[in-house]
């Protein structure tokens, strides 16, 4: 059963930002879908199993942005 989690990412301002974050999160094991609302910074990740917050934070950091509130 798929798990959907929503995070807030700060610092994204354009479509390139969205692509960078989507690309990094998509490499995490089990991730099936990533949807980003650029206006709010909301990132919704659907995965096969719950993701570790540290893994999500590392992927967002690798893209050059910051995960807020986890």
Half-sphere exposure of 35 (CA within 13 A, CB side): 6
Architecture of domain 3-68: 2-Layer Sandwich (3.30)
The whole-model pTM stands at 0.93
Domain boundaries along the sequence of the chain: 3-68
Task: Please give the chain's pLDDT, 70 residues, in tens.
Answer: 899 999 999 999 999 999 999 999 999 999 999 999 999 999 999 999 999 999 999 999 999 999 997 6
- The candidate with the shortest Cα–Cα distance to 31, out of 64, 2, 1, is 2
Three-class SS state of 36: strand
- Tell me the C-alpha distance between 10 and 20, whole Å: 13
């Amino acid at each position: 059963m798929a798990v959907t989690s929503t995070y807030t990412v700060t610092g994204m301002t354009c479509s390139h930002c969205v692509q960078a974050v989507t690309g990094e999160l998509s490499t995490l094991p089990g991730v099936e879908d990533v949807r980003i609302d650029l206006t709010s910074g909301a990132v919704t990740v659907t995965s096969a199993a719950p993701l570790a917050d540290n893994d999500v934070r590392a992927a967002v950091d690798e893209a050059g942005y910051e995960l807020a509130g986890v």
